[in-house]
Amino acid sequence: MIEAKLLQITVAGLTTGAIYALMALGFHLVFVTARTLDFAYGAVVVMGGLVAYSLVVEWSLPLPLVLILVTLFGGAVGLGVSTAIIWPLRDRHPAAQVISLLAAGLVVENVAAVIWGKDSLPFPPFTSDTPIFILGAAVNPQSFWVIGLSLSALIASNLILYKTRLGRVLRATANDPFAARLMGINVKNMYGVAFATSLGLGTLGGTIISPITFAGGYFALPLTVKGFTASILGGIGTPFGAVMGGFLLGFIEAYMAGLITTSYMGAISMAILLVILLLRPEGLFSSKGG
């Protein structure tokens, strides 16, 4: 019975962790290329869930198509943000971009409230929500979708980053934008690629989590804080660190809730964030800082 409980908690941690990992990778991509923190991220993730809700529930489009459309939608928003906000502000004080992104997040959130309303919307499960029992643990089939799709997206982004020319160029830009420009790399395009990938992952994440958490609702800011905490926890400077941070935060939350206490959960992740920033700002899974 103890094993079943631990397994159950592990699945819960893996499910939330997968989403945090997606978001942490999104924070990482934007951070290493544009050297900024995307605090509009939670709003875009929530927006992804809402767009998908309309496509699935109101337009009755098939799910695979919805997943592709939503990811493309996030990519397009990312390109827009990069072109309209990040690139023009690239030589200003770093605060200018951070604050502008915060503001953009509020705009996105309010636009979403006008279109879809302020209440959460029940999103139908991808397959079913009758639990599957594994070794005595009841697993929500949507968890498989979340874990499977997140892992696929993580692996795909990793392949792109390390196995393609685009990835090499992106990493070169991250390492040294000035040198990259000297080598003939179009840095502006790389900003676009980074934001598009980041927000594409975000809207995809927002969609696959919606059957579990509902679409929309008052969720953008808490999500931003979670994604940011995860990326800092593992190390925002490396993709591996960010992803590990996501899973670690998911596990910490699940184990704490299941074994110790559910009180002060929000405060505890804030505390973790501050401690890591003070003691190890480069993150737990990263060897070098930014």
Partner 1 sequence: MKSLRRLMFLAIYSLLSLMILNSAGFGAEAPLRIGLVLSTTGQWSSLGGPAKDGAFLAAEKFNAAGGIKGQKVELVFEDDEGDPAKAASLLRKLTTQDNVCTVFGTSTTAASRAMAEVADNLKITMVAPVPTRAVVEGRRYVFHSAYPIDLAAEFLGQYMTEKLNWKRVAILNDTSEYGTTFAEHVEKWLKGRGIETFSEKFAPNARDLTPTWLKIAERKPDGLLLAAAAMDASAIAMKNRRQLGLKIPVLAGGALSSMRFAQLAGDAAEGTLFQSGFGYDRPREGEKKMLSAMAGKTAGGPPSTLFALGWDSTNLLLQAMQGAGCNRDGILKGLENIKGFQGASGIFNFSPTDHNGHSAKNSTIVKFEKDKFFHIFSY
| Cβ-based nearer residue to partner 1, 167 or 217 | 217
Instruction: Supply the minimum distance, in Å, between the C-beta of residue 86 and partner 1.
Output: 15
Q: Angle, nearest 10°, between helix axes 239-255 and 141-163?
A: 160
| Cβ-based nearer residue to partner 1, 16 or 71 | 16
Phi, psi torsion values for 237, nearest 5 degrees: -80, -20
Instruction: Supply the minimum distance, in Å, between the C-beta of residue 209 and partner 1.
Output: 8
For 58, counting Cβ atoms within 10 Å of its Cβ (0-12 exposed, 13-18 middle, 19+ buried), the class is exposed
Instruction: Supply the minimum distance, in Å, between the C-beta of residue 172 and partner 1.
Output: 20
| Cβ-based nearer residue to partner 1, 49 or 75 | 49
User: Which residues form the interface with partner 1 (CB under 8 A)?
Assistant: 5, 8-9, 11-12, 15-16, 35, 37, 39, 94-95, 98-99, 102, 113, 118-120, 122, 129, 131, 133, 138, 140, 209, 212-214, 217-219, 221-222, 224-225, 228, 232, 254-255, 257-259, 261-263, 265-266, 273-274, 277, 281-282, 289-290
| Cβ-based nearer residue to partner 1, 140 or 173 | 140
The 10 Å Cβ neighbour count of residue 251 is 18
| Cβ-based nearer residue to partner 1, 68 or 265 | 265
Alpha carbon of residue 144 to chain centroid: 18
| Cβ-based nearer residue to partner 1, 18 or 244 | 18
Instruction: Supply the minimum distance, in Å, between the C-beta of residue 118 and partner 1.
Output: 5
DSSP designation for 87: T
How far is the C-alpha of 199 from the C-alpha of 169, rounded, in Å? 19
Instruction: Supply the minimum distance, in Å, between the C-beta of residue 131 and partner 1.
Output: 5
DSSP designation for 121: B
Question: How many alpha carbons lie under 13 Å from residue 169 in its C-beta half-sphere?
Answer: 17
The residue with tokens 């929309």 is: 216
| Cβ-based nearer residue to partner 1, 8 or 82 | 8
How far is the C-alpha of 201 from the C-alpha of 205, rounded, in Å? 6
Q: Report the sign of the C-alpha dihedral through residues 127, 132, 138, 143, in that order.
A: negative
Strand spans (E) along 101-206? 132-134, 137-139
Instruction: Supply the minimum distance, in Å, between the C-beta of residue 207 and partner 1.
Output: 15
| Cβ-based nearer residue to partner 1, 99 or 179 | 99
DSSP designation for 258: I
Pairing of strands 132-134, 137-139: antiparallel
- Asked if 109 and 46 touch (Cβ cutoff 8 Å), the reply is yes
How far is the C-alpha of 21 from the C-alpha of 13, rounded, in Å? 11
Instruction: Supply the minimum distance, in Å, between the C-beta of residue 260 and partner 1.
Output: 9
The residue with tokens 């830009």 is: 173
Instruction: Supply the minimum distance, in Å, between the C-beta of residue 220 and partner 1.
Output: 10
